């Protein structure tokens, strides 16, 4: 599987750790940057990750910034991206199995390397269960219906 990774300056070190593990697990990697400590804008990298997923350059994505929040919001602006912010492996697994997430986001300032690695592995090994979850996931791609 090809996995895209994108981070801002706050998460460059964590991105390197996660990329190394993805390669060890036999995955291809698409590194969308950034590569240094110079300040950059996380939306640019969230958008790049979502584009890579939507156009088929990657099957899964990992978005990283200081908190994981901003880059997740940016990635989710693209209708082809379902990015779940996670902080432990159960959420990473459920994001795949129940929500068919094609990306996860993590905060380098909030999660340690070991926990991030556990999240990565849970996300990459889980598959969407479909079934009762499929109709709900389909709704994520449509405009919301009026409820009142």
* Number of structural domains in the chain: 1
Single out the catalytic residue among 27, 78, 83, 98: 98
Q: Which tens digit of pLDDT belongs to each residue from 46-72?
A: 999 999 999 999 999 999 999 999 999
Q: At which residue do the structure tokens 């905060």 appear?
A: 107
CATH of the domain at 92: 3.40.1400.10
CA distance 142 to 53: 18
Q: Is 103 inside any structural domain?
A: yes
CA distance 124 to 59: 10
What is the model's pLDDT at position 141?
72
Q: Which residues contact 59 (CB under 8 A, 6 or more apart)?
A: 1, 2, 3, 53, 102
Dihedral over alpha carbons 91, 18, 118, 73 (to 10 degrees): -10
Would residue 81 show up in a list of annotated catalytic residues for this protein? no
Q: Is 81 inside any structural domain?
A: yes
Domain that holds residue 67: 2-139
Q: Which tens digit of pLDDT belongs to each residue from 90-147?
A: 999 999 999 999 999 999 999 999 999 999 999 999 998 777 787 787 877 766 677 7
Average pLDDT over residues 67-81: 96
CA distance 11 to 8: 6
Single out the catalytic residue among 27, 65, 81, 119: 65
Would residue 133 show up in a list of annotated catalytic residues for this protein? no
Q: Is 147 inside any structural domain?
A: no
Q: Is 113 inside any structural domain?
A: yes
CA distance 135 to 142: 11
Model-level pTM?
Answer: 0.94
């Amino acid at each position: 599987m090809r996995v895209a990774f994108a981070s801002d300056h706050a998460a460059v070190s964590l991105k390197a750790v996660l990329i190394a593990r993805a390669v060890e697990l036999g995955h291809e990697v698409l590194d969308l940057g950034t590569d240094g400590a110079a300040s950059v804008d996380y939306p640019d990298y969230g958008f790049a990750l979502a584009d890579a997923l939507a156009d088929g350059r990657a099957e899964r994505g990992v978005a990283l910034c200081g908190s994981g929040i901003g880059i997740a919001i940016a990635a989710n602006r693209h209708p082809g991206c379902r990015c779940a912010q996670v902080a432990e492996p159960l959420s990473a697994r459920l994001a795949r199995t129940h929500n068919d997430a094609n990306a996860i986001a993590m905060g380098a300032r909030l999660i340690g390397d070991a926990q991030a690695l556990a999240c990565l592995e849970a996300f990459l090994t889980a598959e969407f269960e479909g079934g009762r979850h499929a109709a709900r996931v389909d709704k994520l791609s449509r405009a919301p219906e009026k409820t009142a």
